[in-house]
Structure formats: structure tokens, C-alpha cells
Amino acid sequence: MSRTTNGRGRLYSSVVETMGDTPVIRLNRIAPDHVTIYVKAEAFNPAASVKDRLAISIIEEAEASGALAPGQTVVEATSGNTGIGLAMACAATGHPLVIVMVESFSIERRRLMRFLGAKVVLTPKGEKGIGMYRKARELAEANGWFLARQFETPANALVHRNTTAREILADFEGERLDYFVTGYGTGGTVNGVSEVLKAERPEVKIVLTEPANAALVSSGVAQERESDGGPAQSHPDWEPHPIQGWTPDFIPAVLQEALERDAYDRMVPVTGPEGIEMARALATQEGIFTGISGGSTLAAAMKMATEVDAGSVMLVMLPDTGERYLSTPLFEGIEEGMSEEEVALSMSTPGYQMP
């Protein structure tokens, strides 16, 4: 039977309206035989990551409250995906945007934000995430700009309660779901989704994951904070890790709120190499393209799968697309030129060979 499509049955007045309703996809080749694993592919959002939800929520909530005036400049500190989402949302709503970003994050992210019209200010990697956070705050105070405050704003968890969680409930209506697996960056996903699932699907266990070498939540060490909820300094247990978008060098206030109400049931740490390996397996064996954070979340789910009951059903968040990682270790060994095997294939027939 030939594949056909019927359209979405609606017209959109702005790109921001296309956010959400991302697909839940079953894994058919790499999941263990005794469990069913689905992934929620957030790369289907308009700027290709879960942070589009947060970005649009920040702008719309701030405009509605009057905190963000028409045409006012927005400034934010980000590892990349929130910045790309904000660049998309600000371009669509007429707000200039300035992003502050640690120099060590992938070059593709900087270029994408600039392509969408944002200015990108880099901070030294030695100052870590808290350096870019403080620089953004300085710029906001000096210029009268609107500081997005993704790590503290109530708009963060709110959008996941209102969209991500509701989509999961609708997609699994009448269906079994035992585990929801997610990493954390700001903490908005686990905060918002867990609140709704624990109320409406209490049988679902929430599995949180973090880098094994930057296990801030597992450390049990409290985050020192400023009076406004922002971090006072870097967390002592943080170390550099390759899982971009996960675990800044402090515990965000949005995540802290979730921790204080016991929002998760199990913590599963993963290493960067485990995440990279799983992202590659997902691409080559399932045709699903995600970044290191998505691979790492799936790696945590695979660890959980070794101890869950047969027949269990898991849903794994995939935060973004792999194209955001071309200059990172995810693509090490993926050459631009032909490999020896590819050259041999070319030479196996007489025509059209590269010199």
C-alpha cells in the first residue's frame, strides 16, 4: 500500500504555534526483548529542541504580564538550545535577542542563533556556566533588557505541565506506561511532567538521569543561592562533561523545586561515552537522529531495562537533534572524505571514479 498524508487540517498564523505535539516513536531494533521503549522526539519542534517550549512560554508569559514590553531586548545565558528557541521566538515576535554562552559549547549553536538574528556574547570556559549566567544578569541590569531567567522562571515548569505532560497523557490514553525517563538541564521537564503524571498516572515511575562525573543531585550537597533563587556559586561536585544541555555547574531553582517535592523515583547516572554510543546506535539502527543528551537519556533507560519487569513500557525524552553536535565528540570518526571501504566500492565499477 502506498503511503499517503492528509495534512494537519489547520493553518498556522505564526511559527510559534507549531510548538509541541511531538511524536512518540517505538524502538524496534535496539530495545531489549522484554520491554517496550518509546521515545518522544523533541526535534520535531520548530527550532528542533524541547527548549522551544520553554522559549515560547517565557516570551508569551512575560508579554502577558507586562514584564516584557513590545520591542524590548531579551537577554539570556544558555548552553545553546534555549538560545536557539529564544532566537526563533524573538524573531517571530519582534524582540531583539542577546545570548550569553560559554565559549566551549558547540560552534553550530552559535551560528544557528546568529542566523536567526541574535547577538551571541561568549564567556571564558574557565568561568563555567555561572560566568555566563552572571554576564547575562550584568547586561540586563546595565541596559534595561528583559532577563529570561530560564533557571528560575515559573514559565518553565508551567509549559511542561500544559503541553509535554498533556501530550503524554493523550498519547498513552488507555495504554500501559510504567516509566518516564528524562535528564535535566534547567529542570523544567521533570518538574512539570512529574507533577501531572504523579497526579493523573500515579503508576508511572519517574526516572531522572545526570552525568556520572557531575552528579549534583546524587551528591546530596545543597546549592548555595542568592536571594532571588539564582546560584551563588558553582556546585562543588560539578566537573566538565560532554553532555551539552545537561547539568550546568549549579542546581537550578526550577529543578530544586522538583527535588523538594520528591518529583522522581529513581536516579540513574550515565557517562558521556555511554550517551555518545547510544546516540549513534539510535541513528544507525533506528534512523532516529538525536544529540548526546538524547543518547544519554536512552542509555539511562537501557540500564533501567535490565532490572524492570517483563512487559514494562518506558517513555524516553529525546531533547534535540544530532545536527547540533557536528563539531563535538558525537561526530568523531565520521569523515568528510571516503573511507577505504567506500573507495573500494567506487573502484569496483569502471566509471565516475574520484581521482
- Output the pLDDT for position 244: 87
**15-44+161-331 and 51-147 share one CATH topology?**
yes
- Output the pLDDT for position 55: 98
Q: How many residues does the chain have?
A: 355
CATH number of 15-44+161-331, picked from 3.40.50.1100, 2.50.20.10, 3.40.1440.10, 3.90.79.10? 3.40.50.1100
d(CA 36, CA 285): 16
d(CA 330, CA 335): 12
- Output the pLDDT for position 311: 98
d(CA 261, CA 283): 36
- Output the pLDDT for position 104: 86
d(CA 311, CA 11): 40
- Among candidate residues 40, 51, 135, 198, the one labeled active-site is 51
| Helix residue ranges per DSSP H, 160-249 | 165-171, 188-200, 216-219
d(CA 9, CA 21): 14
**DSSP 3-state of 247:** coil
Cell of 350: 569502471
- Among candidate residues 49, 293, 296, 312, the one labeled active-site is 293
**DSSP 3-state of 181:** strand
Q: Which of 182, 147, 148, 118 is nearest to 54 (CA)?
A: 148
pLDDT along the chain (355 residues), means of 10: 92 97 98 98 98 98 98 94 97 98 90 96 93 96 98 97 98 98 96 98 98 95 93 93 90 96 97 97 98 97 97 98 92 92 95 90
pTM of the predicted model as reported, rounded to 2 decimal places: 0.95
**Residue 1 DSSP symbol:** -
Q: Which amino acid is at 104?
A: S
What residues does each domain of the chain span? 15-44+161-331, 51-147
Backbone dihedral angles phi then psi of residue 135, each to the nearest 5 degrees:
-65, -40
Q: Give the count of beta carbons closer than 10 Å to the beta carbon of residue 21.
A: 13
Is 293 an active-site residue? yes
Q: Which of 256, 160, 257, 168 is nearest to 204 (CA)?
A: 168
Q: Cell 517483563, residue? A: 310
- CATH number corresponding to 51-147: 3.40.50.1100
Contacts of 17 (CB under 8 A, 6+ apart): none
Strand partners, 99: 76, 120
- Output the pLDDT for position 340: 93
